Amino acid sequence: MRIGLPSAETLQGGSLKALILTVLLSVFMFQLLRTVGLRAFSMASETYTSGTHSAAFVTCPNDTVAKDLARGIVERKLAACVNIVPAITSVYEWQGKIEEDSEVLLMIKTRSSKVPALAEYVR
């Protein structure tokens, strides 16, 4: 018993063209189907897929503001996790002068779809 593709002699005109077209479409559609499948799996299992998650960085003037903001973000389910990094130094230009301030950094991990709502809340 022989298993495999038929030879070119066995295929006649339209059959050979159909086989070639099927193979080409399969090759070109693989990436699209793979991407769709991974996204569907990601939604069903809540695992990571590229482009679905984002990180945001927000500075706060002190620990109290940082903790209040972080707690509000998580309570409103705008992010899965917020890390608070104390005592960073920010150097920036303001009104033509170089300024330096001590701040607290929030590292916010969220879904990309929640970024607009997160930005609105932080403002």
Tens of pLDDT, residue by residue, the chain (123 residues): 555 555 555 555 567 777 777 776 666 666 666 666 666 666 666 655 566 788 888 889 999 999 999 999 999 999 989 999 998 898 999 999 999 989 999 998 988 888 888 889 988
Same domain? For 82 and 110 the reply is yes
Q: Comparing C-alpha atoms, which of 112, 55, 65, 113 is closest to residue 86?
A: 65
Distance CA 110, CA 80 (A): 6
In a domain, 3, yes or no: no
Same domain? For 45 and 58 the reply is no
Range of the domain at 33: 9-50
Structure tokens at 37: 């499948």
In a domain, 33, yes or no: yes
pLDDT computed for residue 25 by the predictor: 66
Q: Number of helices (H) and strands (E), helices first, in the chain?
A: 3, 3
Same domain? For 42 and 58 the reply is no
Same domain? For 35 and 67 the reply is no
Same domain? For 45 and 61 the reply is no
pTM of the model: 0.57
In a domain, 4, yes or no: no
pLDDT computed for residue 96 by the predictor: 94
State the total domains in the chain.
2
Same domain? For 61 and 111 the reply is yes
**DSSP assignment letter at 114:** G
Same domain? For 46 and 21 the reply is yes
Task: Tell me the HSE value of 98 on the side-chain side, using a 13 A CA sphere.
Answer: 2
Residue found under tokens 């298993």:
3
Same domain? For 46 and 73 the reply is no
In a domain, 70, yes or no: yes
